[in-house]
Amino acid sequence: MKRCVYCGEDNLEDARFCDVCGKPFEQVPVRRPTINVKAPKGVLVSIASGRTYELQPDQEMLIGRGDVSRGVNPEILLDDEAALPEGVSRLHSKIFCQGNEYFILDLNSTNSTYLNKQKMVPQQHYRIGDGDEIQLGRYVMRLRFV
């Protein structure tokens, strides 16, 4: 059995996320973003709902549908009706900025992350730019610079 360091619950040995609190067992290395006022202002646009989510170039932003009861609160909370049936994980991916460029990282999500229809390797950084399609499971978003 694998014990969660956040809530203390026992989980199956091969679990990637705690069944109770939803936190990942393997922590993603924390990489401090570079604050750069020249970074473009970016937004993610949900194709399903049309909602926009503003990106902050000076902070790492977790993306997922979250779970308030379990203390899982991503900065970009996909709480529309499409997120769960389209396969978005509680903590699905992370976006951050270094210099003038944005990057995305899949957090070992259950249904994978795709960049322009190409499956991403979990825990690997991918540069993203204006117009790129980001797919969380089957939930599609587009990055726009404004």
The one-letter amino acid code at 15 reads A
CA angle 70, 87, 63 (to 5 degrees): 55
Residue 67 or residue 39, greater confidence: 67
Strand partners, 142: 45, 133
What is the C-alpha to C-alpha distance for residues 42 and 62, in angstroms, rounded to an integer?
15
Q: Do the Cβ atoms of 91 and 22 come closer than 8 Å?
A: yes
Section 74-94 average pLDDT: 94
The CATH number for 135's domain is 2.60.200.20
Report if residue 11 sits inside a domain. Answer: no
In 19-117, at which residue ranges do the beta strands (DSSP E only) sit? 42-46, 52-54, 61-64, 76-77, 93-98, 101-106, 113-115
pLDDT digits (tens, 9 = 90+) for 88-127: 999 999 999 988 899 999 999 999 999 999 999 999 999 9
Task: Report how many domains make up the chain.
Answer: 1
Report if residue 16 sits inside a domain. Answer: no
Report if residue 44 sits inside a domain. Answer: yes
**Parallel/antiparallel/unpaired status of strands 113-115 and 118-119:** antiparallel
pLDDT digits (tens, 9 = 90+) for 33-46: 455 557 788 999 99
Model pLDDT, residue 32: 52
Model pLDDT, residue 146: 86
Model pLDDT, residue 33: 47
Report if residue 18 sits inside a domain. Answer: no
Residue 82 or residue 30, greater confidence: 82
Report if residue 129 sits inside a domain. Answer: yes
Section 65-86 average pLDDT: 91
Model pLDDT, residue 26: 67
What is the C-alpha to C-alpha distance for residues 52 and 146, in angstroms, rounded to an integer?
12
Report if residue 12 sits inside a domain. Answer: no
Domain assignment of residue 33, given as a range: 26-145
What is the C-alpha to C-alpha distance for residues 71 and 85, in angstroms, rounded to an integer?
21
Report if residue 6 sits inside a domain. Answer: no
Q: Taking the CA atoms of 82, 67, 29 and 19 in sequence, report the sign of the dihedral they define.
A: negative
Model pLDDT, residue 132: 98
Model pLDDT, residue 35: 52
